[in-house]
Amino acid sequence: MRGPIVSYGTDRVTRFPFFKIFITVQSNLSTMASQIPSLVELVLEASSLYKQTFPGETPQIAACAPGRVNLIGEHTDYNQGYVLPMALPLVTVVVGSPSPGDDAIIVTATGHADEPRRVNFSLPNKGSTLSPGVPYWANYVKGVIHHYRAQPLPGFKAVVVSSVPLGGGLSSSASLEVAFYTFLQQLRPDDGDKILKAVACQQAEHTHAGVPCGIMDQFVSVLGKEGHALLIDCRSLETIPVPLADPDLVILITNSNVKHSLASSEYAVRRRQCEKAASILGKDSLRDATLKDLEGFRDELDDVIYRRARHVIEENHRTVKAAEFLKRGAYHEFGQLMLESHNSLRDLYEVSCKDLDCLVSAAMEVNGVFGSRMTGGGFGGCTVTLLKAHVIDRTIQHIQERYHGTPTFFVTTPSEGARDLQLS
Ligand code: ADP
Ligand code: MG
């Protein structure tokens, strides 16, 4: 028996049978890493939950958006600096249909979101606004609706599934926002401007989830390019795709599966410290500051502010240099910068923790590993490691032996940004 067609992008169409099959988008390089569910599997899961939740109905539209990993350039985005992330094969999928009236009904499949997992609210129209509330997870979606750039929206029903781990530093939040925005674009098209789309999703996180994040996560989730990392200038919002598709190279993500409660409060503290440093240096942001400027104000800065600013200024340089190295295939040099970045985040910016330090030093002990560092905001979450493909399982095994916790591993490739999925 033949099943429905799911197509993604314009060029790939897969016909799959009704019985469950496992197509993995990750390379089969490792027997020890977690399996990453394919897009087809996620769409099937979402469609089946939709049919179960709304008996007699089938979803008509679908969209997806990826999580991301940042290869280098940490805590630079909100300082108007440079970042070098890539989109992941871990994605959030939204399926749904328009429905009569002004209500939105949204269900998330994940058991890791706060309860209830089904929400029902009136869409904002005629001047009314959509305020944040409970459950907390729905605020990300409400924020996207609030900032959506073509109003009013028709009523709709939607189901969300995701393979991005929640709260793990791989930006499940941006992938949820961007997937949802992409879904809304099919319900009522906006002008299709991708940069304004990313900015609207960032605003959603600020105003409705209460997270004052930079632009990186939403940007790469919208604009990610298969086989490429993305050098983003967070001031001009210009991007340069950097090829990263060497079959002998692997990008390993290790989730420490720890998240220290300090993460969000310390993030806000770091932002304030950077603003203070920029203002003492007489700059709009630390992006404009040089090491020479910093040394010139050494006596007017307390030690903590000095070290925060030094991390940001040096990390910006490292990121631009790293993109050059990657372009040339200079992986040793790239890896060295990853390690310097980690050490700076540990010693100057003080956002690492013992778990992340242990994962990085364990990875660096394996022959064939080029570089490793914490990635994301810090205080837990993930590390990213660049290594030769043939040492992947040896590396995973070594990390497991050295790390006291229960890490999970993803072998990843740079993937495409948000896109519509055609269901039929
Ligand atoms: P990260 O973005 O690194 O995964 P965050 O703390 O920024 O971590 O965002 C995680 C939060 O985003 C979750 O606690 C939840 O509220 C929301 N979220 C993300 N993905 C989903 C999803 N698929 N369903 C419901 N909520 C989600
Ligand atoms: Mg997030």
Q: What is the pLDDT of residues 136-172, one digit of tens each?
A: 999 999 999 999 999 999 999 999 999 999 988 999 9
Which residue's CA is minimally distant from atom 8 of ligand 1?
A: 167
**Residues in Cβ contact with 320 at an 8 Å cutoff, skipping those fewer than 6 apart:** 82, 231
Cβ of 136 closer than 6 Å to ligand 1, yes or no, is yes
E-strand ranges in 4-155 read 5-8, 12-15, 61-72, 82-98, 103-108, 118-122
Q: Of 62-66, 211-215, 286-290, 319-323, give the lowest mean pLDDT range.
A: 211-215
Backbone angles phi, psi at 122, to 5 degrees: -80, 140
Mutation choice for ligand 1 from 172, 374, 379, CB with most ligand atoms inside 8 A: 172
Cβ of 167 closer than 6 Å to ligand 1, yes or no, is yes
Residue 23 has pLDDT above 60, yes or no: no
Catalytic residues: 217
What residues sit around ligand 2, an ion, with C-beta below 5 angstroms? 171, 173
Q: Find the 213 Cα to ligand 2 centroid distance in Å.
A: 8
**Kind of pairing, strands 12-15 and 5-8?**
antiparallel
Cβ of 160 closer than 6 Å to ligand 1, yes or no, is yes
Percentage of the chain beyond pLDDT 90 is 86
pLDDT band for position 126 (50/70/90)?
low
Q: Find the 201 Cα to ligand 1 centroid distance in Å.
A: 13
Q: Which atom of ligand 1 is nearest to the CA of 205?
A: 7
At 75 the pLDDT is: 97
Residue 182 has pLDDT above 90, yes or no: yes
Between 172-187 and 194-207, two packed helices, what is the crossing angle to 10 degrees? 120
Percentage of the chain beyond pLDDT 70 is 93
Write b or e for each residue in 161-184: b if 16 or more Cβ atoms lie within 10 A of its Cβ, otherwise e.
bbbbbbebbbbbbbbbbbbbbbbb
Q: Find the 173 Cα to ligand 1 centroid distance in Å.
A: 4
Spatial CA neighbour of 124 closest among 199, 222, 208: 208
CB 254 within 8 A of CB 399: yes
For residue 263, the ligand closest to its alpha carbon is 1
Residue 6 has pLDDT above 50, yes or no: no
CA distances from 255 to 28, 166, 237, 242, 260 (A): 19, 11, 29, 25, 13
Cβ of 172 closer than 6 Å to ligand 1, yes or no, is yes
Structure letter (DSSP) for residue 343: H
327-381 pLDDT, tens digit per residue, is 999 999 999 999 999 999 999 999 999 999 999 999 999 999 999 999 999 999 9
Residue 199 has pLDDT above 90, yes or no: yes
Structure letter (DSSP) for residue 116: P
Copy the structure tokens of residue 82.
């440079």
Q: Which atom of ligand 1 is nearest to the CA of 172?
A: 4
Q: Helix (H, G, I), strand (E, B), or coil: what is residue 118? A: strand
Q: Find the 171 Cα to ligand 2 centroid distance in Å.
A: 4
* Alpha carbon of residue 139 to chain centroid: 18
Q: Find the 294 Cα to ligand 1 centroid distance in Å.
A: 37
Cα–Cα dist 89/34, whole Å: 12
Cβ of 403 closer than 6 Å to ligand 1, yes or no, is no
Query: How many CA atoms, within 13 angstroms, populate the side-chain half-sphere of residue 396?
Result: 22
Residue 119 has pLDDT above 70, yes or no: yes
Mutation choice for ligand 1 from 64, 94, 176, 351, CB with most ligand atoms inside 8 A: 176
Length of the chain: 424
Residue 221 has pLDDT above 80, yes or no: yes
CB 76 within 8 A of CB 316: yes
Report the mean per-residue pLDDT for the chain. Answer: 92
At 113 the pLDDT is: 87
Q: Find the 234 Cα to ligand 1 centroid distance in Å.
A: 23
Which residue's CA is minimally distant from atom 15 of ligand 1?
A: 137
At 260 the pLDDT is: 82
CB 84 within 8 A of CB 70: yes
